[in-house]
């Protein structure tokens, strides 16, 4: 290398074809030059391996250039990435153990709300009910109770509730007065079957549709009829939910993501249930006249709000629309 002394002079400069250097640590003390060593113990001077200046610089012989391994062809050097505990466990991702280095003071996005998918994980049962001055406390038996921690959210028949305590195979939730007035939780007794779903993790598949767990009100089960293996269930929806429901759109009934199969007069909504859904939810326990929790389509609710208040939005006065 440039400037490295060896017995007999200075090594040849970068990229030259000068005399060979002896391998570091090789014998042959005091040799006057490379010419006196066997060919197997000699190597030519390697080029300088300094830092790469600029992304577009060509790689030099013997140099390994690590690039950001994404699919977009980004040419960021590995020095622009730092280890992050977010990637230190679990399966290897496209970023490996590297994540973008965060700039001090830069705003980082946060998940603002818990969401569900309407895909029921299991049917639990109410193990105990305790009445209190501000609502009810329910103990619910669930197969995944041992995996929960206090503070997590669980949709119980589609209503988002917070885990308070854990016991042997059960978890407890507190239901406030507002939730009791809008959901079927006021009717729960010991042994009642409830549809359960834990909150969606970022990166999971969204097999149903976005369900907030904010129940809009109560629908009434009108009855069911079978056609082959398919069951068609009819529900009477509240007026405000019916107004935002569209044919072949999505609706959540008792927390189950369903496709609207038909809309009829009097606010009647028809959904089709396959045998798997019938057997793995509490729909099979319903009788005519029973109430169920209903949550309308999230997008439909926002669209209706914008349409209803469109004329009152700031900046719309005097706006001319092309016809």
34-47 pLDDT per residue, tens: 445 555 544 554 55
Q: How many domains does the chain have?
A: 2
pLDDT tens figures, 157-194:
999 999 999 999 999 999 999 999 999 999 999 999 99
323 versus 318: the higher-pLDDT residue is 318
Residue 323 inside a domain? The answer is no
Q: Which two three-digit tokens encode residue 309?
A: 């208040």
Tell me: do 230 and 298 sit in the same domain: yes
Q: Residue 22 falls within a domain, yes or no?
A: no
- Judged by average pLDDT, the poorest of 17-31, 39-53, 74-88, 152-166 is 74-88
Q: Give domain status of residue 263, yes or no.
A: yes
Residue 46 within any structural domain of the chain: no
For residue 310, the tally of other CB atoms under 10 A from its CB is 9
Same domain for 190 and 225, yes or no, is: no
Q: Which two tokens stand for residue 69?
A: 């391994």
Query: What average pLDDT score do residues 212-236 get?
Result: 96
* Chain position carrying tokens 């009445």: 131
Kindly tell me if the per-residue pLDDT of 52 is higher than 50: no
For residues 243 and 283, state if they share a domain.
yes
Range name among 33-42, 51-60, 71-80 with the lowest pLDDT average: 71-80
Which range, 10-24, 92-106, 163-177, is most confident? 163-177
pLDDT of residue 49: 53
Same domain, 167 and 225: no
Q: Is residue 234 part of a domain?
A: yes
- Kindly state whether residue 58 falls inside one of the protein's structural domains: no
**225 and 294 in a common domain:** yes
Under the banding of pLDDT at 50, 70 and 90, the label for residue 10 is very low
Check pLDDT > 70 for residue 203.
Answer: yes
Q: Specify whether 133 is located in the same domain as 182.
A: yes
Please report the pLDDT score of residue 239 as a whole number.
Answer: 94
205 domain residue, yes or no: no
pTM, rounded to two decimals: 0.62
Can you give the chain as a three-state secondary structure string? CCCCEECCEECCCCCCCCCCEECCCCCCCCCCCHHHCCHHHEECCCCCCCCCCCCCCCCCCCCCCCECCCCCCCCCEHHHEEECHHHCCCCCCCCCCEEECCCCCCCCCCCCCCCECCCCCEEEEEEEEEEECCEEEEEEECCCHHHCCCCCEEEECCEEEEEEEEECCEEEEEEEHHHHHHCHHHHCCCCCEEEEEECCCCCCCCCCCCECCCCCEEEEEEEEEEECCEEEEEEECCHHHHHCCCCCCEEEECCEEEEEEEEEHHHEEEEEECHHHHHCCHHHHCCCCCEEEEECCHHHHHHHHHHHCHHHCCCCCCCCCCC
Give yes or no for residue 101 having a pLDDT over 80.
no
In which domain, by residue range, is 188 found? Answer: 122-198
Average pLDDT, the chain: 75
- Confirm whether 188 is domain-assigned: yes
Average pLDDT over residues 74-89: 37
From 198, 225, 260, give the residue that closes a domain: 198
What CATH number does residue 266 fall under? Answer: 2.40.30.20
Taking only the tens place, the pLDDT of each residue in 256-284 is 999 999 999 999 999 999 999 999 999 99
Quote the pLDDT of residue 206.
81
Is the pLDDT higher at 13 or at 250? 250
**How far does the chain reach from its first CA to its final CA, in angstroms?**
76
Average confidence (pLDDT) over 239-248: 93
Q: Find which of 81-85, 95-99, 242-246, 317-321 is predicted with most confidence, using mean pLDDT.
A: 242-246
Q: What is the predicted pLDDT for the residue at 134?
A: 86
pLDDT of residue 315: 57
């Amino acid at each position: 290398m440039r400037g490295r002394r060896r017995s007999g002079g200075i090594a040849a400069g970068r990229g030259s074809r000068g005399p060979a250097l002896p391998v570091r640590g090789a014998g042959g003390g005091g040799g006057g030059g490379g010419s006196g060593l066997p060919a197997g113990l000699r190597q030519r001077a390697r080029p300088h391996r300094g830092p790469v200046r600029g992304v577009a610089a060509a790689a030099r012989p013997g140099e390994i250039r690590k690039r950001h391994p994404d699919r977009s062809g980004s040419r960021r050097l590995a020095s622009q990435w730092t280890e992050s505990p977010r990637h230190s466990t679990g399966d290897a991702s496209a970023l490996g153990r590297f994540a973008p280095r965060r700039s001090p003071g830069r705003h980082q996005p946060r998940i603002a709300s818990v969401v569900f998918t309407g895909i029921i994980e299991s049917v639990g049962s109410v193990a105990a009910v305790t009445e209190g001055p501000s609502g009810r406390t329910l103990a619910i038996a669930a197969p995944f109770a041992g995996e929960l921690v206090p503070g997590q959210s669980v949709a119980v028949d589609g209503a988002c509730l917070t885990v308070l305590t854990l016991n042997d195979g059960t978890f407890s939730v507190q239901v406030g007065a507002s939730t009791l007035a809008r959901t079927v939780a006021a009717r729960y007794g010991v042994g009642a079957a409830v549809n359960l779903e834990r909150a969606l993790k970022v990166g999971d598949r969204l097999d149903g549709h976005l369900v907030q767990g904010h129940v809009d009100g109560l629908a009434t089960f009108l009855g069911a009829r079978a056609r082959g293996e398919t069951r068609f269930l009819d529900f009477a929806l509240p007026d405000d939910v019916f107004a935002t429901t569209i044919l072949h759109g999505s609706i959540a009934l008792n927390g189950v993501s369903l496709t609207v199969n038909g809309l009829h007069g009097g606010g009647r909504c028809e959904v089709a249930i396959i045998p798997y859904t019938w057997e793995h939810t509490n729909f099979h326990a319903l009788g005519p006249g029973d109430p169920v929790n209903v949550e309308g389509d999230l997008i439909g609710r926002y669209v209706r709000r914008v349409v209803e208040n469109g004329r009152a939005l700031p900046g719309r006065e005097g706006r001319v629309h092309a016809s």
